[in-house]
Chain A
Amino acid sequence: MRVTAALLCALLPALPAPGPVHLTVSPQSLPVTTGPCNARNLSVRLANTSTTPVYADAELTAPDALHLQRTLVSTWLPAGWTSAVPVRVSAATGTPPGDYRIRVSSGDQHTDVPVTVTAPPPTAGLTTRAAEVTAASFRATNPICAAADGDPATFWTDGTNRVWPDWFQLDWHTSVTVSRAEVRTPAEGGLRDWDVQVWTGAWQTVASVRGNTATTRTSTFPPHQVKALRLLTLAGNGVGDMSRLAEFTVS
């Protein structure tokens, strides 16, 4: 019997061994509000369950309605190591609300993540409803959306020290009424001087702030019907001499 078993083992083609890399994705489903800065992150986790290092990949695919900032994660994994990599998922303004699906695969494993897309509610602020959020420049550690994500702990910075002015701009698909702009800026190296400007065929300054040292500063101005508004930043309070904007809230 033992001989037969050994013979069988020798003759049978080896069964495909389970790969050493284990893929998991969280969360298991993702609600996404349309708009460039209303993105959510998927966490792609690759675990090396073996005792030798490997290079591992995870690929992501999604329908055109969803935008993935990256569609590949490749990394070296030491033995027993797990890497978790965030993947930003967004849906452009105007994307039809509904259910979509992202597939994440690694080797012969795959995981499907249902994504529910909704438009911002009518009660949402104008920053949340902006169709485009852009800036003069930015850094990888302080991206543009950090000033339009509702989280005052994260902030946008421009990418050029000592070079002024910089700008941070909101665009809407349809005209909106604006009469108030709230700037939140870090206590250390925050914004000192800026203008609030609306687009009326040219940039028109509707409010100016000079010598600011507060972390929250609100400007009010006569209502304007516009499709674009921007903050033109003119000076900061030291620390690398750059623009730092934690949240920009317009109503």
Chain B
Amino acid sequence: MLGRRGLFTAGSAALVAAMTPMPARAAPAGDPFTLGVASGDPLPEGVVLWTRLAPRPFEPTGGLPRADYPVKWQVAEDEKFARVVKDGTATAAAAYGHSVHVDVHGLRPGRDYFYRFRTDRHVSPAGRTRTAPARTAKPERLRFAVASCQNYTDGWFTAHRHLAAEDLDVLFFLGDYIYEGAVSRHGGDRDDASLRLPDTFELATDTLDLYRMRYALYRTDPDLQAAHAAVPWALTWDDHEVEDNYAAAASRHDDVPAADFLVHRANAYRAYWENQPLRRPRQPAGPDMPLHRKLRFGDLADAYVLDTRQYRTDQACGDGILAGCRQREERGRTLLGPGQRAWLLNGLATSEVRWNLLAQQVMMAECRYGGEAGRLDMDKWDGYPGDRAAILATAARVPGTVVLTGDIHFNYAADLRTDFSRPETPPVAVELVGTSVTSGGDGLDAVPKLQQQQRYSPHLRFTNGQRGYVRCELTRDTLRADFRVLPHVTRPGAPITTRATFVSERARPGLVTA
């Protein structure tokens, strides 16, 4: 075992050169591991490991020339890397923004592992990850968290520092990992005088180089790095990874032709794949990227990681929060697209597990905004009631459906019914809408707008407007959710507290305070 470690530490230039068909290149000057490490999409036998070389992360191409670099990796059973069980050499290719994706196989199910990378004399920080339970296992519990929406300019990623300290099997990140708008020299409301960003960051991201730089900026954050290094993530995107409120090939700007927007989308999707721990089959082909997938956790849970942006019909009635929009109910309108919808409905209907988690972006519960009676948000499932009805009709037959949501920068606990206008009927599923990591700034516990929504929508059992995340524990028969909140994000170092706890029974869904 020590021998393996020795090989790693000593390095073997000849071996590396033989394994790497690219032109040999001098090692990068300076520590190239400024963006941390990550793991993701745990399977019983393996995980994806990620890093990206960028000795000068705020420069285009991270301060590296157009050359490929060999990067060695190790997976060990212990934090000190005394018991290395897998290792190898990957390539940080210039064509992929010097990102590294290692699809590790041959690990044992339901186990903690530690991993790290090395290039030349530089060794990355170590990450901890955990494989999924065996497919045939009958786990007693699954611990996970739900996080989303981390606009860098709105504050500090303190929530991630706290997430890193939680004991989790997996973290579901439900989109808006980056924001496409301008970042000022001192990082907006962070007002971080040490940041001194170049004015390239004042440009809205639309080309591949700008998206790569934006991911590099976010990934330099030490709290975000800590959360990635602590637990495997299962990620999906929402809109800001491309552009606010886009729908499939439609930009939010009506004057942008679809063909132009698809070039923009291709650049955004490429950078997303490069910068997240995703397997090679998820790689985009031009503007198309198959992101939806299922992760299994023994017989306890399947997690359907959904994509509600890429295939959706354009928002009804011109988007917005509207009353009386009949177009939303038109046949053929879809949030998931026909392929993803059929895959999901079939998966749910033939479920072999206790719980089905739908890790997705936008709020599924009907949410009436008040004011003009019956106003609904056309960007959410309320704008696509056909797809929602199909899922909830299936959930009514298959117990254990839990919808996990991001997007909206508020906490909600919601009961889901096949007919939201009949509060006397039993819920068929529950939804946990997790607040943002930073987006929206410091926030408030009690938000009048949300309280008004609760009056118009009695199935919304809880609302809160602070920043944070949702921590969950699934056992054989019960879901427990802790809404974890922060008092502020525009200053670093906020403590975290549990604002509310809800439980729901698999056999009798419905959120009640614990």
The reply to whether B286 and A70 form a contact with Cβ atoms under 8 Å apart is: no
- A225 close to B (CB within 8 Å): no
Q: Chain B contacts of A70 at CB under 8 A?
A: 60, 200, 203, 209-210
Q: Pick 25 A–B contacts, CB within 8 A, sort by A.
A: A53-B286, A55-B208, A55-B270, A57-B66, A69-B199, A70-B203, A70-B209, A72-B61, A72-B209, A73-B209, A74-B212, A75-B209, A75-B263, A76-B208, A76-B270, A81-B263, A83-B263, A85-B207, A138-B202, A139-B181, A140-B202, A140-B204, A143-B202, A159-B182, A159-B188
New A-B pairs, 11, CB < 8 Å, besides A55-B208, A69-B200, A75-B263: A70-B209, A74-B208, A75-B209, A76-B263, A76-B266, A83-B207, A83-B263, A139-B182, A143-B202, A159-B182, A159-B184
With A and B bound together, what is the CA distance between A78 and B257 in angstroms?
15
Residue-wise interface mask of A (54-92) relative to B, using a CB-CB cutoff of 8 A (1 in contact, 0 not): 010100000000000111111111100101010000000
Tell which of A75, A140, A159 touches B203, judged by Cβ atoms closer than 8 Å.
A140
CB distance from B26 to the nearest CB of A (A): 20
Q: Chain B contacts of A138 at CB under 8 A?
A: 182, 184, 202
Q: Chain B contacts of A57 at CB under 8 A?
A: 66, 209
The reply to whether A55 and B207 form a contact with Cβ atoms under 8 Å apart is: no
Residue-wise interface mask of B (177-195) relative to A, using a CB-CB cutoff of 8 A (1 in contact, 0 not): 0001110100011000000
Which residues of B approach A to under 8 Å, CB–CB? 60-61, 66, 95, 153, 180-182, 184, 188-189, 199-200, 202-204, 207-210, 212, 259, 262-263, 266-267, 270, 286-287
Q: Chain A contacts of B182 at CB under 8 A?
A: 138-140, 143, 159
With A and B bound together, what is the CA distance between A223 and B189 in angstroms?
36
- A141 close to B (CB within 8 Å): yes
Closest chain A residue to B198, Cβ basis? A69
Q: Chain B contacts of A215 at CB under 8 A?
A: none
Q: Chain A contacts of B95 at CB under 8 A?
A: 55
- A137 close to B (CB within 8 Å): yes
The reply to whether B286 and A78 form a contact with Cβ atoms under 8 Å apart is: yes
With A and B bound together, what is the CA distance between A78 and B182 in angstroms?
27
Q: Chain A contacts of B286 at CB under 8 A?
A: 53, 76, 78
With A and B bound together, what is the CA distance between A72 and B267 in angstroms?
14
Closest chain A residue to B211, Cβ basis? A74
Tell which of A69, A72, A76 touches B202, judged by Cβ atoms closer than 8 Å.
A69
Q: Chain B contacts of A77 at CB under 8 A?
A: 263
Q: Chain B contacts of A71 at CB under 8 A?
A: 60
Q: Contacts A83-B263, A159-B153 given; indicate if A141 touches B204 (C-beta within 8 A).
A: yes
The reply to whether A69 and B203 form a contact with Cβ atoms under 8 Å apart is: yes
With A and B bound together, what is the CA distance between A73 and B92 in angstroms?
20
Q: Chain B contacts of A140 at CB under 8 A?
A: 180-182, 202-204
With A and B bound together, what is the CA distance between A47 and B259 in angstroms?
15
CB distance from A28 to the nearest CB of B (A): 23
Q: Chain B contacts of A78 at CB under 8 A?
A: 259, 262-263, 286
Tell which of B184, B207, B263 touches A137, judged by Cβ atoms closer than 8 Å.
B184
Q: Chain A contacts of B209 at CB under 8 A?
A: 57, 70, 72-75
With A and B bound together, what is the CA distance between A74 and B267 in angstroms?
8
Closest chain B residue to A81, Cβ basis? B263
Closest chain A residue to B204, Cβ basis? A140
Closest chain A residue to B96, Cβ basis? A55
CB distance from A117 to the nearest CB of B (A): 19
Closest chain B residue to A36, Cβ basis? B199
Closest chain A residue to B212, Cβ basis? A74
Q: Contacts A70-B60, A70-B209, A74-B207 given; indicate if A137 touches B188 (C-beta within 8 A).
A: yes
Q: Chain B contacts of A75 at CB under 8 A?
A: 207-209, 263, 267
CB distance from B39 to the nearest CB of A (A): 27
With A and B bound together, what is the CA distance between A65 and B317 in angstroms?
51
CB distance from B494 to the nearest CB of A (A): 20
Closest chain B residue to A141, Cβ basis? B204
With A and B bound together, what is the CA distance between A81 and B266 in angstroms?
13
Closest chain A residue to B270, Cβ basis? A76
With A and B bound together, what is the CA distance between A53 and B270 in angstroms?
13
Q: Chain A contacts of B188 at CB under 8 A?
A: 137, 159
With A and B bound together, what is the CA distance between A159 and B287 in angstroms?
30
CB distance from B225 to the nearest CB of A (A): 25
Q: Which residue, A81, A139, A140, has most C-beta atoms of chain B within 10 A?
A: A140
With A and B bound together, what is the CA distance between A39 and B210 in angstroms?
20
CB distance from B184 to the nearest CB of A (A): 6
With A and B bound together, what is the CA distance between A76 and B210 in angstroms?
13
Q: Chain B contacts of A81 at CB under 8 A?
A: 263
With A and B bound together, what is the CA distance between A137 and B188 in angstroms?
7
